[in-house]
A and B are shown apart, each in its own frame.
Chain A
Amino acid sequence: MSDTNFTLDYQRKEIPTKARNAGLIFTGLGLIIVVVSYIINPERTAYNSIIGSSFLLSIGLLSLFLIALEYIAGAIWSVVFRRITEFLSALIFIVPVFALPFLLNIHSVFNWTHAETVAKDAILIHKSPYLNTTFFFIRFAAVFIIWWLFYFVLTGNSKKQDSTFNQTLTKRNASFGAVFMPIFAITITIASIDWLMSLEPKWFSTIFGVYFFSGSLLAAIAATTFAAVRLDENNLFGIKIKGDHYYSLGALLFAFTNFWGYIAFSQFMLIWYANLPEETFWFISRWEGNWKFITLGLIVFRFIVPYILILSQPSKKDPKRLKLAAIWILFTHYYDIYWLVMPNYSRSGIAFSWYELGYPLLCLGVMILTFTFKAKNTNLLPVGDPKLKQSIDFHL
C-alpha cells in the first residue's frame, strides 16, 4: 500500500527557547507555592497534590492510550500528531513526584488508613483486604511499572523507526498496543479508585473508572490539539497541517465532550433515581453550601460551553477556535478533579486560595518543559512511519 521509497524532506526545527523559558517560569512559581504551602499546611497540599497528580496522569497516561489506539486502529490521519502524544506520555514519569505530598500524608487524606476508624466500621472492615496501606503502595508501584514498560516499548519502537525505517516495528507496536488495552482498562480503574474514589471510602460507583477515563481522554486530546496548533502556528512541524486534520481532532474533542456528559449524567442519574443513602451522600456533600455552585459550574463549563464552542463544522476546522477550546477543556478537567477531591477536604464550603494555585502552575510548567525536553532530540514527525505520507495527504 504505502510508498516505501517515500522519504520526507524533513528538517528538524528547534523549539524556540521562549517556550522553555515560559515552562521554567511556571514550574518555578508552582514549585515555590507548593513548597511553601506544604510547610504551612501539609494536609491541604496533600489534597492539592491528588488533584495535580491525577491531572498530570490524565494527560500522560491517556496520551499513551492514544498512541496504542492509533496503532491498533491503523489510524492514518493521526500519524502526524503521534510525536506530540509520545512526548506528552513521558509525563507519567513525573506523576509519582507530584504525588509525594499525599503519599507522605496518606493518613490525613485517606480515612481508611486509620486502624481505629476501620475497626469500628463494618463496611470498612469488609473493604480492608483491598483498602489497606501496604496493598495501596503495592498497587501504586505496580501500575506505574506497567505503564512505564509500555511507554518504553511503544515510544522506543516508534523512535527506532526514524532511523531504521523498519516497517515491522509498526506491526509489533500494534500487537503491544492490543496487549496494553485491557491492562490499561484495569490499571486506570485501579488508579481512579485508589486516588479519587477511596477519598470517600464508603462510597462506591461502578462507573467511576469510566468517568475518570472519559474526562482524562478529553484532556489528553485537548493537550495534543493545543500542542499541534502551537507547532503549526510557528511552522515547526515541517509540513502544513490541513483543515481535515484539525477537523478530526475537533470531532474527537466534540465526541468525547458528549461522552463525558453521558457518563457523568449516567452516574448521577442512577444514584439519584435509586436514592440509596449509602450512594447519595457523595452528591449531597457536593450540593451543600456553596459547593452547589461548583457542581452547577461543572455542567456549564465542562459540557455546555465546549459543546457550543465546537458544535459547528467550520469551528472544528478553525485552529484558533480549537486552541481556545483545548485550553478551556484542560481548565475544566482540572476543575472536574477539583470537584471530585476538594469537598472531602472542606465540607463546609469552597476551599480556594493561593494554596490551590501551586499545582496548576506546576502542571502547566512541567508539561511545557517535558515537551520541549523531549522535542530537543526527537523528530517532531515520525519520519520512518510507513503511513506518514498518507497521513500528510489526509483527506476526509
Chain B
Amino acid sequence: MANWQWFHRLGSPKWLLGKLDRWTPWLLFAGLLLFGAASVWGLAFVPPDYKQGNSFRIIYIHVPFAVVSLAAYYAMAIAGAVGLIWRMKVADMAMRSIAPVGAAFTALALVTGAIWGKPTWGAYWVWQDARLTSMLVLFFLYMGVLALYDAYRERSSGSRAAALVALVGTVNVPIIYKSVDWWSSLHQPASIKFTEASTIDAQMLQPLLLAIVGCYLLFAALVIAQLRVQIVLGENRSQWLGDHAVNRTA
C-alpha cells in the first residue's frame, strides 16, 4: 500500500500547506514571466494578420484564458468528485479554490472575445450562437459553484452541493469545445489542430503556445494562493495551524 502514500500525504492539510508556501512564489514568477514574454512577443514582434490587421493580437490573451478556463472546470469537477467519494477535506478546498479563478478566467475570455468581435464580426455579442452561449453557461456554472459552497451552515454540506453542480456541469465542456463543429456558428473553428496542420502561421503560433503555458502556470499560482486561504479557513480550529503561523513569523 506504499503507492498510496502520496495520496494520503496530499490529503493532509498540514503537509500541503508547508509545500504550498514554498511553491507559490516560484509558480507566480514563472507564470508572469512566460505570459509577459509571450504578450510582448505577440503584441510587438509578430507580423499583423493579412485580414484582421493588428486586432488579431487579442488572441494572445483570449485563447489562453479560454483554454485554461475549460481545463480548470474539469480540475474543479474532479476535485469535487474526490471530495464526494473519499470525503477528503483538501479536495473540497481545491474545488473551492479553483472556482473563483476559473470564473475570472472565463469572464476574461468572454470580455476579450466581445472586444475582438466588434471590429471583426461587427457585433460585441450574438445571442443564439452556440459557442458564445455555452461559454456564458460555463461562467454561470462557476458562479453556481461559488454561490453554493458558502450557502450552508455546515461547511461539508456546501462542499457537497457545489461538487454536485460542478459534476453535472462537466457535460458543458465538450459542448463548448465542439460547438463550432456541430452547429453553424459565428465563431470560427479552432486554428490549432492536433490531427492535421494548424491553420495559424508558425510565427503567430509560437508566442500563442508560450502564452498558453504561461497562463496555466499563472492559473496554478492563483489557485494555490486561494488554496492556502481555504486551508486556513477550513483548519482554523487546529493546533498545528497556530504552530505553523508562529513558525512562519518567527
**Does A associate with B in a complex?**
no
List B residues at the A interface (Cβ < 8 Å): none
List A residues at the B interface (Cβ < 8 Å): none
